[in-house]
Amino acid sequence: MIRCADNMHNLARYLIFFQYIGTRYRGATKVPSHQHDRKGVQDHLEDAIRRLRPNNPVSLSVSSRTDSGVHALSNSAHFDLQRMKDKPPFTEDVLVEALNYHLRTEQIRVTHAHRVPDNFHARHRAQSRTYIYRIALGFSKQSLLPLTDCELCWNLSNMELDVEAMHKAAAMLVGTHDFSSFRAISTDTPFKSPVKTLDVVDIQPGSSFASAHFHREIPFWELKFQSRSFLYKQVRRMTGALVAVGQRRLSVPQLRDIMEARDSLIYPKCLAAPANGLFLARVDYREEGKQVRQNRFSKAPTSQLSFNTEKNIVCIRRQEMYSRIMLLGTLQA
């Protein structure tokens, strides 16, 4: 369809960053109409945009797909919006406030928005994605966890993990490899290369969201994964394998054999980590030619954006503890 330039002068493309507690949603992206027993996060975001009464069809492009039950501290998406009656485009702050007003009954929050060029694409332009997986030790039942951590971590009855062995296994995953053994079969499988480059696989102590107010100390560990992109359920499968190494149910050589087999069917059944402990923590962008100027990002309300002049990378970095963010989201449900 050819658009008349005179009628599109107030059309604006926005890049938004948003977070959600994924327990009640069927993943990040749109759900087919015949499966609307539970909507995806995208469905609710598009509903909120439609309530702004745009003059153009609403179509959101989400940068990172997350599975049902997976959470996000910062996902991103772009969309076009043209206001009716030749009204000027919304400012970023007004857009964020308006969208959150219409999302107030959902566990979804838009954290900030930016005007971007009309050829900007949230998924294609993303340079890296960072996931965090939270593990709580010493709890055989999820119901024993603090309310602020229930459904937001993987609870294990183990009091300890062999973290040294897990670090050795994690080091084996870093770099460029064929990760066929760590992807689940999906309709996209024949069309996507299994070769991915993992820039970071790290294991560090974590903490409960209620650490200062719970009657007992809870040992937490956080697994961090960073790459430009991931295969379907790759992070959950890698997490499950690393935890199995930590529980001494799987040795580092056995994990190497699984990876070198390059066969998704060789991955042990029931080993993948559950969805509820996984968070998409960050999506980073590189802006070539400074198409999005640094000062455009100077007023982000909940994040500070750093600009690396050597690589010309604009990064969204969390400055506040995400424990407070998730606690607030839980209590506002």
Catalytic residue numbers, as ranges: 67
Q: Which residues pair with 108 in a beta bridge?
A: 20
How far apart are the C-alpha atoms of 232 and 284, rounded to whole Å?
20
Contact indicator for 315, 130 with CB cutoff of 8 Å = no
How far apart are the C-alpha atoms of 24 and 3, rounded to whole Å?
38
Tokens of 228: 């430009």
307 sits in which H/E element: strand 303-308
- Give the contacts of 318 (CB within 8 A, at least 6 positions apart): 73, 74, 281, 282, 303
Q: What is the DSSP letter of 30?
A: P
Q: Of the candidates 289, 294, 291, 278, which has an alpha carbon nearest to the alpha carbon of residue 326?
A: 278
What is the chain's Cα-based Rg?
21
Amino acid symbol at 96: V
